[in-house]
Amino acid sequence: MSLLLNGFDYTPFLTLLAGVGDYVYLKNLEGKFIFSNPAHLRLMGVHHLDEIEGKSDFDFVPLFLALRFQSQDREVFKGRSLVRQVELLSKEGNHSFWHLTTKLPLRSLEGKIVGLIGYTRKLGPEGLLSMASMEVARSLRYLQENFAEKIKMKELAKIACLSVSALERRFHKEIGMTPSTYLKNLRMNEACRLLSETQESISKIALDCGACDQAYFTVEFRKQFQITPLQYRKGFLGNGEFLR
């Protein structure tokens, strides 16, 4: 493949990226893909570059994810780099995985922003724990094992052997979000799994995921994904492919 962006030949660079196991992609200013390495192609459910070239996230992922990616891209197109952001992405069947994402502006030889390059790495089960100090790792494990329970910040700080302010500061620095945001993501991840893999009632799923009732759960779910739990459930086919 030969790709020219404003007179600069990126072909050798992209040839190197093709062999990377993490997800690498380039987009133009319209948010359309102009390059996707094999790992990213597989993530999007296609096999060849021409199946993704000229298309956007809206053609491949659920709406709530596409909107999130679009918002990130707009900031990058303004010249603001997104570096090592920890995020929970619902893809690869019904399951969600923690990812570490970096997006940087692509500039022409004249310095004008002409697109972006994205690099996303899926973190394994111990991924976040491996990024954390011993104190923060204690709080991570506790949240992972008890996310359905009512958790007070004072109790979490005690488990981490830190003050509340110290835990919040170090947690945000090491993980990229507050403990409360991480807890909410854990709960929403489990809710997505239960909605797509089981026939449990939404009211029971709400309780199993730490919500006080179905109404509150629905409000929080919609804030996170821009759709209701019922719409999310109806959006899945038997094979776990999200209807777009």
CATH number of the domain to which 57 belongs: 3.30.450.20
Question: What is the percent of the chain where pLDDT is above 70?
Answer: 82
Helix, strand, or coil (residue 57): helix
pLDDT of residue 126: 59
Amino acid at 178: T
Q: Are residues 118 and 131 in the same domain?
A: no
Q: Are residues 115 and 44 in the same domain?
A: yes
Q: Are residues 45 and 108 in the same domain?
A: yes
- Residue-wise pLDDT tens digits, 9-60: 666 666 776 767 789 999 999 999 998 999 899 888 899 999 999 999 999 8
Helix, strand, or coil (residue 239): coil
What distance in Å separates the CA atoms of residue 52 and residue 36, rounded to the nearest whole number? 8
- Say yes or no to pLDDT of 4 above 80: no
Q: Are residues 70 and 151 in the same domain?
A: no
239 domain residue, yes or no? no
Q: Are residues 10 and 95 in the same domain?
A: yes
Helix, strand, or coil (residue 141): helix
Structure-model confidence comparison of residues 75 and 226, the more confident one: 75
What distance in Å separates the CA atoms of residue 100 and residue 70, rounded to the nearest whole number? 17
For the chain, the average pLDDT equals 82
User: In degrees to the nearest 10, what's the CA dihedral of 230, 232, 233, 237?
Assistant: 140
Q: Are residues 76 and 61 in the same domain?
A: yes
218 domain residue, yes or no? yes
CB 190 within 8 A of CB 208: yes
Of 122, 155, 170, the residue at which a domain comes to its end is 122
pLDDT of residue 242: 44
243 domain residue, yes or no? no
240 domain residue, yes or no? no
Q: Are residues 74 and 140 in the same domain?
A: no
241 domain residue, yes or no? no
Could you tell me the CATH number of the domain that includes residue 171? 1.10.10.60
Domain total in the chain: 2
91 domain residue, yes or no? yes
Question: What is the percent of the chain where pLDDT is above 90?
Answer: 41
Average pLDDT over residues 101-117: 89
pLDDT of residue 22: 87
26 domain residue, yes or no? yes
| CA neighbor of 24 nearest in space, from 6, 44, 51 | 44
Q: Are residues 185 and 219 in the same domain?
A: yes
Q: Are residues 87 and 136 in the same domain?
A: no
Q: Are residues 63 and 138 in the same domain?
A: no
CB 114 within 8 A of CB 106: yes
- Say yes or no to pLDDT of 241 above 60: no
- Say yes or no to pLDDT of 6 above 70: no
CB neighbourhood size of 208 (10 A)? 17
The residue segments making up the domain with residue 99 are: 4-122
- Residue-wise pLDDT tens digits, 129-182: 767 889 998 998 899 889 999 999 999 999 999 999 999 999 988 887 899 988
180 domain residue, yes or no? yes
Q: Are residues 108 and 191 in the same domain?
A: no
Of 93, 122, 151, the residue at which a domain comes to its end is 122
- Say yes or no to pLDDT of 226 above 60: yes
Provide DSSP, 107-138.
E-TTS-EEEEEEEEEE--TTHHHHHS-HHHHH
Q: Are residues 25 and 77 in the same domain?
A: yes
What distance in Å separates the CA atoms of residue 1 and residue 15, rounded to the nearest whole number? 9
Of 76, 99, 122, the residue at which a domain comes to its end is 122
